[in-house]
Amino acid sequence: MDNSISVNFNHPANVGILSYLGSRERLEHSVSVARQLPSCSPTSVKDPYTKLGSHPDLVTRLWDEVTVKLPVKCQWIVHGTPVLVNPLSGIIFAFCGGTHTYAFRLPLKEHQEAIYTGAKRINHYSAIPSVNIEASVLDLDTIGKEWVFGFWLKGEEEWCLAAFNFANDD
């Protein structure tokens, strides 16, 4: 994997996602081994598919499956979270959200297509008392209007490519 990705912490397109990923409350409850690092390569974490607080199937989906049409490797970790970053712009265009969600930042056409296909913008997370996690809700409006949750939906490989290109246009 590429070790040269640089997240653009000052780009307006990253403001919402960085505020969410780096929030004190989220980091205090994170079980990711990389939660204290603002940005790092997956190669810097031993077994990143299982040690970042997201289910390994989600990390595989985000990093290996929906990325098959991308021209370059975009896998990265931000505030302990698996993400996809356009290496040319430093803009985050996808992320894993906990144990059962991932989301894409899409241009309007693909955003509308995703919603029509069944993608959601609000997710309700169940409590997991065994690890002291309370029930919560993530409304992607808090991150940005362009974001939608994926869920193994038809067309996600194309959406990922559109998200990559959208992150290069900003």
Predicted model pTM:
0.93
Q: Answer yes or no: is pLDDT of 6 > 60.
A: yes
108-117 vs 156-169: helix crossing angle, rounded to 10 = 160
Q: Is 31 exposed, middle or buried (0-12, 13-18, 19+ CB in 10 A)?
A: middle
Rounded to a whole number of angstroms, the CA Rg of the chain reads 15
- Do the Cβ atoms of 102 and 96 come closer than 8 Å? yes
In percent, the amount of the chain with pLDDT more than 70 equals: 97
Q: What is the pLDDT of residues 107-133, one digit of tens each?
A: 999 999 999 999 999 999 888 788 777
Cα distances (Å, whole numbers) of residue 103 to 87, 129, 132, 148, 157: 18, 25, 24, 5, 12
For the chain, helix (H) and strand (E) counts, in that order, are: 5, 8
Quick: pLDDT tens for 64-83.
Answer: 999 999 999 999 999 999 99
Give residue 4's pLDDT band: very low, low, confident or very high (50, 70, 90).
confident
Supply the pLDDT for residue 136: 86
In the prediction, which pLDDT does 97 show?
85
In this model, does residue 2 exceed pLDDT 60?
A: no
The full set of domain ranges for the chain reads 12-169
Residue 28 or residue 77, greater confidence: 77
In the predicted model, is pLDDT for residue 1 greater than 60? no
Please state, in angstroms and rounded to a whole number, the distance separating the CA atoms of residues 37 and 130: 26
Tell how strand 136-139 and strand 122-125 pair up. Answer: antiparallel
Query: Which residue carries 């997956």 as its tokens?
Result: 42
DSSP state for residue 101 in the 8-state scheme: -
Average confidence score pLDDT of the chain: 93
% of the chain exceeding 90 in pLDDT = 82
